[in-house]
Amino acid sequence: MTHLPDHRLRQREYLLQISRAITAQLDLTSVLSLVINVAVDLLAGTAGLIALYDEQNNTELQIHASSGIPHEVWPALKPLLQIPPGYVSRDNVVQALQDVMVNTGLSLRQVIALPLTFRDSRVGMIYAFRAALNVDFSADEAQILQAFADQAAIAVSNARLYQGVLREKQRLDAMIEQSADGVMIVDPRWRITTFNKAMEHLTGWPRSEAIGRPCAEVLAIRNNQGVNICLVDCPLQRRPHSLNPVAEGWVTTRDGRQIYVQSRYAPQTSAEGAFLGAIANVRDITQQKHEEEMQNTFVSIISHELKTPVSIIKGYAGTLQREDANWSQETLREGLRVIEEEADRLARQIQGLLDVSRIQAGGIRLDMTEWDLRLLAREVVEAFAAQTDERFEFEMRFPDDFPPVHADYEFVRMVLTNLVSNGVKYSPEGGTIRIGGWADDEMVLVSVTDQGIGIPPEEQERIFQRFYRIDNRLRRQTQGAGLGLYLARAIIEAHGGHLMVESQPGRGSRFTFTLPVGHRRISVDITT
Ligand code: ADP
């Protein structure tokens, strides 16, 4: 067994202590303080410093740790940082030391300065000082200090790597957190480790409760039969593995909503192919799903709505043409009237469809002019009064100074006609249909009120959706494709206005829309 000299033993112990500190804690300042304290102690020095080049431009040294020198005097030590690497003072006091002694009152008479190098790049400097002039730093001592310098360099590089990783992680966390899609990360045991804000919003689960739970519990995606796909057919566990695992289905949120989601997974595997976890990207595609369903309903409604008048027309035309029958004038007229009525109905349906596709394809192009809405209201009322029987009464209520509107005449006519037509259609008992108006400086408010069957509260938003018709007794008895209110709202919103409904089932409904006021009146005011 070899006997190491005492200081070698201590050096070995110290280095061990330092390398333990480096692996145990990643706080750079405390590791550097340990290194410099131990080094100064071992060299029987008075003081010591560790300075590092800044990470960006790598030119300027900055003090990061000291031994035997209070923190407050660090700014006064700047001249010391000019001492070149590898410098060992011999029996003389360097000018930089002189200056610092004068300025700080510290006794620093001898110095040894060594570079901190890691993989050929210089990351900083280590300095040890003595107060006495007569004991030079020996070559042996220089070697000892170099060993500490190497340790410090490793600590610096570790800490910087760690900080780099930490920064990346923070950036990634922020990206995940801010993502508009729901993002969820699961560990190899399918437990949730990350759950972003969008995911909380989507599922109604607070992050604090979702984390740690199995993903199949929090995002229980069910197929149309109500079976939890995540339990019985998890796309990540299918064999053979699919390249783009994805699951789609219904999710009941924590707060009881039903949403339709699509979840795409990016599985992570080790080099040996073991499952390490997965990132799930979850999107709420309820709206898309509804639209898909509506398209299907659309086809059935349209085929029904279009086929009915066509078959009536065809039936009447065929009957009237029969050569063996001798139709009376009255029967002929009645037949032709039905044919005309059904042809009109067909034309209206087709026009409605054309309007919808036009609005969807290119938005609504408005031809804005200024005109008096009271005249339009009168026109509409007169048309309906002529078509309806005595069960209905029509009323108009507008103030005398009702201003002109700034709007597209034809489009607003469509809206008003549709609202009045609905008022009539959905008032089987008849009643009063009232068109009223009210204005302030910026907009006019127009309402159409009926005393019909009304609309249940839960249906009041849905009736503005495309192809939506309330499933009630009148649904079968009235014509319609559920497009009128969808179009009306689109038209009013294109004008910058709103269309809303208030209704009490059994009592009636009031539809109100806003439109911008025309400026003619205002400009007249200014010039007079
Ligand atoms: P349509 O009348 O062609 O069905 P709309 O989009 O105009 O389509 O209306 C959608 C649904 O809203 C109607 O089917 C009806 O159930 C309901 N609705 C609309 N207006 C009224 C009203 N004034 N009173 C009661 N229900 C109404």
Q: Which domains does the chain have, with CATH numbers?
A: 6-170 (3.30.450.40), 182-284 (3.30.450.20), 289-360 (1.10.287.130), 368-516 (3.30.565.10)
Residue 263 alpha carbon to ligand 1 centre in Å: 36
Spatial contact of 469 and 486, defined as CB atoms under 8 Å apart: no
Select from 427, 438, 430, 365 the least CA-distant residue to 396.
Answer: 438
Token pair recorded at residue 508 = 């009636």
- Atom 2 of ligand 1 has which residue's CA nearest to it? 480
DSSP structural state of residue 44 = T
Atom of ligand 1 nearest to the CA of 418: 7
Most ligand 1 atoms within 8 A of CB, residue of 429, 463, 509 to mutate: 463
CA pair distance 381, 397, nearest whole angstrom: 12
Atom of ligand 1 nearest to the CA of 485: 6
* pLDDT at 524 (0 to 100): 39
* pLDDT at 13 (0 to 100): 82
Instruction: Give the tens place of pLDDT for each residue, 148-196.
Output: 899 889 888 888 888 888 899 999 999 999 999 999 999 999 999 999 9
Residue 386 alpha carbon to ligand 1 centre in Å: 22
Spatial contact of 33 and 17, defined as CB atoms under 8 Å apart: no
CA pair distance 298, 374, nearest whole angstrom: 36
Q: Is the CB of 353 under 6 A from ligand 1?
A: no
Token pair recorded at residue 149 = 């310098």
CA pair distance 235, 245, nearest whole angstrom: 5
DSSP calls for 273-314: --EEEEEEEEEE-HHHHHHHHHHHHHHHHHHHHHHHHHHHHH
Q: Is the CB of 352 under 6 A from ligand 1?
A: no
* pLDDT at 525 (0 to 100): 40
CA pair distance 316, 335, nearest whole angstrom: 6
Q: Is the CB of 469 under 6 A from ligand 1?
A: yes
CA pair distance 56, 480, nearest whole angstrom: 70
Helix (H), strand (E) at residue 488: helix 484-494
CA pair distance 369, 401, nearest whole angstrom: 19
Q: Is the CB of 453 under 6 A from ligand 1?
A: yes
Positions in the chain whose pLDDT score sits under 70: 1-5, 23-26, 91, 294, 297-298, 300-302, 304-305, 360-363, 476, 520-528
* pLDDT at 516 (0 to 100): 92
* pLDDT at 465 (0 to 100): 87
* pLDDT at 6 (0 to 100): 74
How far, in whole angstroms, is CA 32 from its chain's centroid?
44
Residue 450 alpha carbon to ligand 1 centre in Å: 12
The amino acid present at 351, given as its one-letter code, is: Q
Spatial contact of 128 and 147, defined as CB atoms under 8 Å apart: no
Residue 511 CB neighbour total at 10 angstroms: 26
Select from 15, 50, 13, 54 the least CA-distant residue to 33.
Answer: 50
- Atom 14 of ligand 1 has which residue's CA nearest to it? 469
Residue 469 alpha carbon to ligand 1 centre in Å: 6
Q: Is the CB of 422 under 6 A from ligand 1?
A: yes
Q: Is the CB of 489 under 6 A from ligand 1?
A: no
Q: Which residue has the tokens 């280590």?
A: 126
Give every CB contact of residue 453 below 8 A, 6+ residues apart in sequence.
426, 427, 428, 472, 474, 505, 506
* pLDDT at 526 (0 to 100): 36
| Helices 373-387 and 409-425, axial angle in degrees (round to 10) | 40
Most ligand 1 atoms within 8 A of CB, residue of 427, 477, 483, 485 to mutate: 485
What is the arrangement of strands in the sheet containing 508-516, beginning at the earlier edge strand?
392-397, 431-439, 443-449, 508-516, 499-504
Q: Is the CB of 508 under 6 A from ligand 1?
A: no
Instruction: Give the tens place of pLDDT for each residue, 233-288.
Output: 888 887 777 778 999 999 999 999 999 999 999 999 899 988 899 999 999 999 88
Q: Is the CB of 464 under 6 A from ligand 1?
A: no
Q: Where are the beta strands (DSSP E) in 32-90?
A: 47-53, 61-67
Most ligand 1 atoms within 8 A of CB, residue of 422, 500, 504 to mutate: 422
- Atom 19 of ligand 1 has which residue's CA nearest to it? 422
* Paired sense of beta strands 258-269 and 246-252, if any: antiparallel
Residue 459 alpha carbon to ligand 1 centre in Å: 10
DSSP bridge pairs for 131: none
* pLDDT at 480 (0 to 100): 74
* pLDDT at 295 (0 to 100): 72
CA pair distance 213, 254, nearest whole angstrom: 14
| Helices 6-24 and 28-42, axial angle in degrees (round to 10) | 180
Q: Is the CB of 452 under 6 A from ligand 1?
A: yes
DSSP bridge pairs for 194: 185
